[in-house]
A = this chain, B = another copy of it.
Amino acid sequence: MSKTPKPRNAFYAQSGGVTAVINASAAGVIDAARRHRKYIGRLYAGRHGIIGGLTEDLIDVGAETPATIRGLRHTPAGAFGSARFKLKGLGQNRAEYERLIEVFRAHDIGYFFYNGGNDSMDTALKVSQIGAQLGYPVTCVGVPKTVDNDLPLTDCCPGFGSVAKYIAVSTREAALDVASMARTSTKVFVLEVMGRHAGWIAAAGGLAGNGPDDPPQVILFPEVAFDESAFLARVKGSVGKNGYCVIVVSEGVKNADGKFLAEAGTRDAFGHAQLGGVGPVIAQLVKERLGYKYHWAVADYLQRAARHIASKTDVDQAYAVGKAAVEYAVRGMNGVMPAIIRKSGKPYRWKIEPVPLAAVANVEKKVPRDYITEDGFGITAACRRYLQPLIAGEAWPPYRDGLPAYVRIKGKAVKRRLAGDYRI
């Protein structure tokens, strides 16, 4: 082994929409950093992610108790605060990157762990590049996280397995409800799920049943243009045959013109259209055209925060990518992301391997056509084989007084070293 350099501090930030297991990745980073004190001095976290980095609002992770760190493994959402804040391209806003490097320099930060999705992998890569340009090299490692499961090169994304389990369980449960009541009441139930451009979460609804007539009888994917008449025929057929129809619809379903079926009209900080409400749109269509009594549910944040029904596989993988990120960094690997590699499907075995951020950034992995049945309304056996191991295993959080005992960080601020406020 080469001569050990002087330890440098590390910066960890959570980015974008949170998940049931992003804090498990944080725990992986924290635990591994503690095991590599020769390389990593103090570990700081950005309060509200990269915003904490830019505004020099750093959290001293070392001030948290061991019980809190252990608790992160079973606590959903972003314990350190996340942010929907995308650093612009270097050409458009070089100042933001320079500011981040300024903060890093002030706190002797030599490692940057960015826990996010496509956009964040791109940012991590750019920070690595500009650090080098400014003569302040920072080892930047991405830590994958996204419920959308749309990162390339990794078999799956931490966060996805748990939302997939939530949707599969919820669909199975709601379908039993609808089947019980269909004789005299609701015939069509619509569950709207997340997945802006990729239908992985909607696909997971397909795990609720096994046989061809099992619910959900219809899945609507963003990858398949909505065909109203084929859809209505399918719903009618299911009600005729089974007495009811359960529909799982992705928020990102588009019509043949590529327009979202339900578009709220507002946009988030990344410039993405803010969606929500395709569930009632679909339910209303069924009611108007077929006359069936309907109910609809929109799981929204409930699905991605549902640590109570997290997949053990997902929790383990989330922790593993956090740990691996630190191990890569201390070995001097820069601009990489730990990816999950499927070694075998049955029995399910996986390992972690580094992939270059440049190959991950801004690439979206959609549900391949051969994972969707020919009619466009269901998942194939290949899709089921892919998804099933990802929801396997239960990882119950501890309970107190009937409720999961989630932890909150102390969040002790690191003393500022730079003068003046930085406005974002």
> Quick check: B77 and A177 within 8 Å, CB to CB?
yes
Q: Which of A48-91 contact B (CB under 8 A)?
A: 48, 51, 75-79, 81-85
Query: Chain B: which residue is nearest A79 at the CB level?
Result: B180
Nearest CB of chain B from residue A376's CB, rounded to whole Å: 24
Give chain B residues whose Cβ lies under 8 Å from the Cβ of A277: 280
> Quick check: A177 and B76 within 8 Å, CB to CB?
yes
> Quick check: B307 and A180 within 8 Å, CB to CB?
no
Q: Assuming A78-B180, A297-B299, is B309 touching A308 (CB within 8 A)? A: yes
Q: Is A4 engaged at the interface, CB distance under 8 Å to the other chain? A: no
Interface string of A381-402 (1 = CB under 8 A from B): 0000000100111101001011
Report the Cα distance A208→B402, complex, angstroms.
10
Give chain B residues whose Cβ lies under 8 Å from the Cβ of A173: 20, 76-77, 301-302, 305-308, 404, 406
Give chain B residues whose Cβ lies under 8 Å from the Cβ of A301: 173-174, 177-178, 186, 189, 295, 297
> Quick check: B402 and A183 within 8 Å, CB to CB?
no
Q: Is A14 engaged at the interface, CB distance under 8 Å to the other chain? A: yes
Q: Is A300 engaged at the interface, CB distance under 8 Å to the other chain? A: yes
Nearest CB of chain B from residue A53's CB, rounded to whole Å: 13
Q: Is A179 engaged at the interface, CB distance under 8 Å to the other chain? A: yes
> Quick check: B401 and A392 within 8 Å, CB to CB?
yes
> Quick check: B177 and A305 within 8 Å, CB to CB?
yes
Q: Assuming A77-B180, A181-B82, is B295 touching A300 (CB within 8 A)? A: yes
What are 17 contact pairs spanning A and B, CB under 8 A?
Answer: A77-B180, A82-B180, A83-B184, A84-B181, A84-B185, A168-B403, A170-B306, A174-B300, A174-B305, A176-B406, A184-B269, A185-B268, A189-B301, A276-B296, A296-B298, A393-B402, A396-B396
Report the Cα distance A244→B403, complex, angstroms.
22
Give chain B residues whose Cβ lies under 8 Å from the Cβ of A174: 300-302, 305
A sample of 9 more A-B contacts (CB under 8 A), given A18-B180, A48-B184, A302-B302, is: A83-B181, A170-B306, A172-B403, A172-B404, A173-B307, A177-B304, A185-B268, A208-B403, A391-B402
Q: Assuming A176-B305, A266-B293, A305-B173, is B406 touching A81 (CB within 8 A)? A: no
Q: Is A311 engaged at the interface, CB distance under 8 Å to the other chain? A: yes
Q: Is A165 engaged at the interface, CB distance under 8 Å to the other chain? A: yes
Q: Is A199 engaged at the interface, CB distance under 8 Å to the other chain? A: no
Nearest CB of chain B from residue A304's CB, rounded to whole Å: 7
Query: Chain B: which residue is nearest A388 at the CB level?
Result: B401
> Quick check: A185 and B269 within 8 Å, CB to CB?
yes
Interface size of A in residues (CB-CB distance below 8 Å) = 73
Q: Which of A280-326 contact B (CB under 8 A)?
A: 280, 293, 295-302, 304-309, 311
> Quick check: A76 and B402 within 8 Å, CB to CB?
no
Q: Is A30 engaged at the interface, CB distance under 8 Å to the other chain? A: no
Q: Is A17 engaged at the interface, CB distance under 8 Å to the other chain? A: yes
Q: Name A183's contact: one of B81, B179, B306 (CB within 8 Å).
A: B81
Q: Assuming A76-B177, A298-B298, A301-B297, is B184 touching A85 (CB within 8 A)? A: yes
Q: Is A169 engaged at the interface, CB distance under 8 Å to the other chain? A: yes
> Quick check: A179 and B77 within 8 Å, CB to CB?
yes
> Quick check: A297 and B302 within 8 Å, CB to CB?
yes
Query: Chain B: which residue is nearest A268 at the CB level?
Result: B185
Nearest CB of chain B from residue A78's CB, rounded to whole Å: 4
Most buried by B among A174, A301, A306, A308: A301
> Quick check: A180 and B298 within 8 Å, CB to CB?
no
Q: Is A207 engaged at the interface, CB distance under 8 Å to the other chain? A: yes
> Quick check: B276 and A311 within 8 Å, CB to CB?
no
Q: Name A172's contact: one of B168, B186, B394, B406 (CB within 8 Å).
A: B406
